[in-house]
């Protein structure tokens, strides 16, 4: 059985209380690993190590080029260990192996990208300002924000760690990383990779544990300068409240109920592919999943019929099995939530077009499996239409005009992502401009690039990850203004009164 410890101040160690947590394979429901369960005392030790490393250690004082060398070494190691890491991710999370391979490659690319931004920061240097008073000169510099508490979710364990660690480390911050208790294993490997690549002690610390203990202790710690959180709206609200007590910097990437608008002139096969990719990738456990599809009425019946046919053909099973495109959900708790959402929708009068809450055939009696599900004819004020299910559950509705489609799409407290499909690119651009979301896709759904900003409107979060915007999350801006004139200022003490 695999075992994992905490990583604090450059060394592996057991949790102070000696507590352990089981890690369960979602496809078999078998415990395959145990990791340390950190308590507040362990979190305090990790934060103190990060504080020392930031205040007195070399990492924040290195040039961007020096930090970039370490980040590039981490990217190389990720690519070298891609297959082993992908298989570990499948056992931890349940996603199909091809998706896990994609995630590891994306994580490596993220470290390479931010290595490049660290190098560019050296070249950018200070920004000199033109001031209206020639007696002064002023420059703007950037410096790392300090100690970062990074709390990541279970749906993309390795990739979400990379999204936070790569820009934070590139900026010169030190980090305490807290992965989800459901999927901690790839974080352990990433920390090993960082240590081997040359991160000094205390720069990257890992605390595995429950959100209610380790996560809360990290959020509330007074020596943490910034919290970077990805997860549910409910937990994000708690993180924000904790940050408010000490006015910590905070970035939050929270939930979504993302719409996809399909106009009647869309080629049907293209629409099928992107609708399915938008909701069934990673078992629908994606914050940006386009889980509400609005179809223009002339295309509605035909597209819905074809969707039901294609969804029934999706291979379901263990993520390790060749050809599988839909694995198990991450846990029994998540399975229960998804099944309850489907049952509630049917009880409230919605039509079950495909799938349902019953166990899909051919999956045996073990594993947290649910069939890909399509729901139609629901009330547009119902729970299933408005709230995030975080599973392979697609809600479909018809519309009659562009104005109606936009009204329905924007009628949500979330605003992470949205998509529009049409052969009329002018209409696509017009709709994209009107959609209330931080990420909008045209004639596609879910492509994500580390060069582009990621984050949402409304209750989908605060701030942006990825791109240069994600890098700036971890930098403080400092104004330095100098009085250059040799003439006295002479406001309180006039020249004739001087000794």
Task: Write out the catalytic residue numbers.
Answer: 253, 287
CB count within 10 Å of CB 376 equals 21
Measuring CA to CA, which residue among 83, 42, 289 is closest to residue 189? Answer: 83
Measuring CA to CA, which residue among 24, 1, 98, 19 is closest to residue 334? Answer: 24
**Whether 73 contacts 47, CB under 8 Å:** no
Query: Residue for token digits 């931080």?
Result: 438
Report d(CA 371, CA 363) in Å as an integer. Answer: 10
Query: Residue for token digits 């930098």?
Result: 475
Report d(CA 475, CA 169) in Å as an integer. Answer: 11
Query: Residue for token digits 């605390």?
Result: 207
Reading the block at residue 412, the tokens are 């949500």
CB count within 10 Å of CB 79 equals 16
Which runs of consecutive H residues, i.e. helices, occur in 323-462? 332-347, 383-386, 402-410, 425-434
CA end-to-end distance (rounded Å), the chain: 81
Report d(CA 143, CA 354) in Å as an integer. Answer: 53
Containing 171, the helix (H) or strand (E) segment is helix 157-171
Measuring CA to CA, which residue among 193, 189, 160, 162 is closest to residue 73? Answer: 193
């Amino acid at each position: 059985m695999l075992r994992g410890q905490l990583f604090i101040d450059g060394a592996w160690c057991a949790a102070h209380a000696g507590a352990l947590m089981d890690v369960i394979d979602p496809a078999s429901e078998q415990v395959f690993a145990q990791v340390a369960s950190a308590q507040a005392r362990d979190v305090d030790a990790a934060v103190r190590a990060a504080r020392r490393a930031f205040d007195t250690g070399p990492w924040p004082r290195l040039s961007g080029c020096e930090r970039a060398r370490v980040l590039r070494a981490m990217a190389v190691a990720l690519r070298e260990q891609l297959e082993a890491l992908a298989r570990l991710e499948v056992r931890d999370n349940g996603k199909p192996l091809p998706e896990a391979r994609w995630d590891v490659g994306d994580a490596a690319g993220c470290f390479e990208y931010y290595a490049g931004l660290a190098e560019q920061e050296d070249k950018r240097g200070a920004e000199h300002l033109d001031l209206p008073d020639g007696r002064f000169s002023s420059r703007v510099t950037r410096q790392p924000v300090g100690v970062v508490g990074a709390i990541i979710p279970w749906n993309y364990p390795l990739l979400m760690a990379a999204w936070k660690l790569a820009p934070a480390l590139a900026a010169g911050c030190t980090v305490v990383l807290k992965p989800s208790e459901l999927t901690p294993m790839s974080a352990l490997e990433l920390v090993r990779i960082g240590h081997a690549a040359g991160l000094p002690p205390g720069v990257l610390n890992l605390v595995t544990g429950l959100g209610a203990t380790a996560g809360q202790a990290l959020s509330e710690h007074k020596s943490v300068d910034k919290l970077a959180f990805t997860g549910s709206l409910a937990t994000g609200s708690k993180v924000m409240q904790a940050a408010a007590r000490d006015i910590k910097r905070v970035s939050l990437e929270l939930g979504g109920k993302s719409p996809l608008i399909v106009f009647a002139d869309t080629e049907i096969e293209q629409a099928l592919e992107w609708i399915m990719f938008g909701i069934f990738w990673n078992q629908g456990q994606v914050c940006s999943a386009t889980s509400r599809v609005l179809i223009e009425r002339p295309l509605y019946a035909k597209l819905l019929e074809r969707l039901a046919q294609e969804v029934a053909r999706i291979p379901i099973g263990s993520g390790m099995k060749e050809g599988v495109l839909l694995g198990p959900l991450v846990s029994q708790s998540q399975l229960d939530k998804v099944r309850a959402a489907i049952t509630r929708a049917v009880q409230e009068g919605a039509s079950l077009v495909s799938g349902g809450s019953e166990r899909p055939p051919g999956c045996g009696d073990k594993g947290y499996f649910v069939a890909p599900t399509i729901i139609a004819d629901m009330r547009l004020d119902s729970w299933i239409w408005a709230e995030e299910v975080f599973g392979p559950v697609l809600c479909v509705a018809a519309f009659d005009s562009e104005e109606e489609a936009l009204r329905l799409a924007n009628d949500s407290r979330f605003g992470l992502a949205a998509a529009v499909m049409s052969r009329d690119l002018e209409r696509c651009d017009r709709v994209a401009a009107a959609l209330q979301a931080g990420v909008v896709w045209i004639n596609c759904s879910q492509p994500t690039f580390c060069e582009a900003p990621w984050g949402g409107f409304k209750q989908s979060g605060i701030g942006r990850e990825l791109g240069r915007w994600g890098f700036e999350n971890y930098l403080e801006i400092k104004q330095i203004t100098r009085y250059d004139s040799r003439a006295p200022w002479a406001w309180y003490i006039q020249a004739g009164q001087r000794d």
